[in-house]
Amino acid sequence: MNMAHQATPSSQKALMMELKSLQEQPVEGFRITLVEESDLYNWEVAIFGPPNTLYEGGYFKAHIKFPVDYPYSPPTFRFLTKMWHPNIYENGDVCISILHPPVDDPQSGELPSERWNPTQNIRTILLSVISLLNEPNTFSPANVDASVMFRKWRDSKGKDKEYAEIIRKQVLSTAAEAERDGVKVPTTLAEYCVQTRVPSQDSSSDLLYDDLYDDDMEEEDEDEDESEMESVGEAGAISCLEDGGTSTRRYDNQDDSGNEDS
């Protein structure tokens, strides 16, 4: 048992710890599963479109692939659902600073502090992606046509509807897959902000957790996760407010038409 424990890659231990944390304290608007039970390096993500945005009611799937040296190198995030967005490539790859390797590249226009570093984790990635959906970076777009279209929609305060109509069609096209998966997509702030504790899939999963981690390590990691999540939440476009035991979600930098202030 000790030899097996010593041979376990540190990345596998880190991923198991993060997976357990996300199952017990989910990130709102996301569902996380493993593509295969035996493979911790490939995750499937289901993203619910945030209410009061163009993506409301959407059910978007993505894959996260982690490198063996995680968290020293960033994972890749690829949408499986067809996405029309300034920062998503045609093949679904997400172009976002937090997922770029921590190298100094002046030509990229990114500061080293904006890129990946080992203190980041899957929570900060998920929160960054949901923020990116609502606040695209049009300065270095992965999809130039989508970027131009988004700027027209934003600058016209929604009068130019081409961008919004494409997004809504993509949202509607996800309804069939949500139904096949037996998923009820949240469409109100109250539904979207509810967090539930996901039970362990079976007792063998708990045995695996116990085998890989010490309790004190787990508590330390969860404290770090909470601290990082708070910092990202303050910087992002979305935040949750609790009042009397119910959660509501506020969308900053948006007017009544769903447009963000530039």
- Confidence (pLDDT) at 113: 63
Domain contains 213: no
- Confidence (pLDDT) at 93: 96
Give the domain range for residue 64: 10-194
Predicted TM-score (pTM) of the model is 0.69
Domain contains 14: yes
- Confidence (pLDDT) at 110: 59
Domain contains 17: yes
Q: What is the mean pLDDT of residues 222-243?
A: 43
Give the whole-angstrom CA distance, residue 97 versus residue 185. 29
Domain contains 110: yes
- Confidence (pLDDT) at 230: 43
Give the whole-angstrom CA distance, residue 259 versus residue 262. 9
Domain contains 99: yes
Domain contains 78: yes
Partners of 134 in the beta sheet? Answer: none
**Predicted confidence (pLDDT) per residue in 63-104, tens digit:** 999 999 999 999 999 999 999 999 999 999 999 888 877 666
Q: How many CA atoms lie within 13 A of 101 on its CB side?
A: 6
Which listed residue (22, 62, 94, 95) is catalytic?
A: 95
* Start-to-end Cα distance in the chain: 56
Rounded CA Rg of the chain: 19
Q: Supply the CATH number for residue 81's domain.
A: 3.10.110.10
Token readout for 175 is: 């309804």
Active site residue 95: yes
- Confidence (pLDDT) at 2: 45
Give per-residue burial for 87-107: e unless 16+ CB within 10 Å, then b. Answer: bbeeebebbbbbbbeeeeeee
- Confidence (pLDDT) at 256: 42
- Confidence (pLDDT) at 188: 87
Domain contains 219: no
DSSP state, residue 97: G
Work out how many domains the chain is built from and give that number.
Answer: 1
Could you tell me the CA-to-CA distances from 243 to 52, 187, 226, 248 in Å, in that order?
A: 20, 19, 20, 8
Domain contains 243: no
CB atoms within 10 A of CB 127: 24
Q: Are 15 and 41 in contact (CB under 8 A)?
A: yes
